[in-house]
A and B are shown apart, each in its own frame.
Chain A
Amino acid sequence: MTSLFGASRTPTSAPSSPAGNLFPPLFTPPPLRPRPYPEVAARLESIKNSIRNELALQNAQELMSKVNDKCYAKCIPKPGASLSGSEEKCLSQCMDRYLEAFNIISKSYVLRLKKDKLDLQTPSL
């Protein structure tokens, strides 16, 4: 599922993150402490991974559902007996545009969060 969204994105989206990760990390995880029991550490890691995967899946599903809604509205104003070639072309362009918009919004959202945080630290009043 992630390859659908992660692979062919523009260089504007999180250049340093690993392939398949659409979103730049907003929070840096705390450093790992050494653990006496490796099997406990492994279990903890596997729980974390399944949570990460679950959230990533939810996120991808939400994105796909939005793409479907928006692009259906834009590209298929009058449903015919089958999808036409031009409708398919519109759908594929629309999906690219929606993901592009999503990346623009993510970037400006993160910038805004950072700005608001700075404003809180150094109040201008």
Chain B
Amino acid sequence: MSDALTAPKLDAASQKELEQFLETEQAQARVQTQIHTLTSLCWDKCVGSISSGFSGKEQSCLENCVGRFFDASDYLIRRVEQQRAMAGAQ
């Protein structure tokens, strides 16, 4: 920032607000990154040849893609936890 020396200093309340703003923006940026990753993944999985619109199959595949991704993740986590519990019981 070239105007850093002449610009008015931020008071404590403004600094706090800026911190909160940064936190929210960073959280949103993480979400965006994940959406980019998922779009790439689902595109590879669902989309065939390019035409002027998605087919019904492509459309529903894309719509289900995110939900099943999270279901798969939840399922795998539950499974690992179960296995750990079983190993602990022995």
Contacts and interface: CB of A to CB of B under 8 A. Distances in A.
B88 to A, nearest CB: 21
A70 B42 CA distance: 12
Contacts, number: 107
Contact of B25 (A33, A52, A100): A52
B31 interface: yes
Contacts of B33: 62
Interface string A60-100: 00110010001100110000000000000010011001101
Contact of A109 (B29, B35, B47): B35
Interface of A: 23, 26-27, 29-30, 33, 35, 37, 39-41, 43-44, 47-48, 51-52, 55, 58-59, 62-63, 66, 70-71, 74-75, 90, 93-94, 97-98, 100-102, 104-106, 108-109, 112-113, 116
B7 A51 contact: no
19 contacts: A23-B32, A43-B7, A43-B8, A43-B10, A43-B14, A51-B21, A55-B28, A62-B32, A71-B50, A93-B52, A97-B50, A101-B42, A101-B47, A105-B38, A105-B62, A108-B65, A109-B31, A109-B35, A109-B66
B contact residues, range:
35 or more
Interface string B47-80: 1011111100001001101110010000000000
Contacts of B17: 30, 44
A87 B42 CA distance: 23
A23 B43 CA distance: 19
Given A27-B27, A40-B11, A71-B50, 6 more contacts: A44-B14, A63-B36, A66-B40, A101-B46, A105-B39, A105-B65
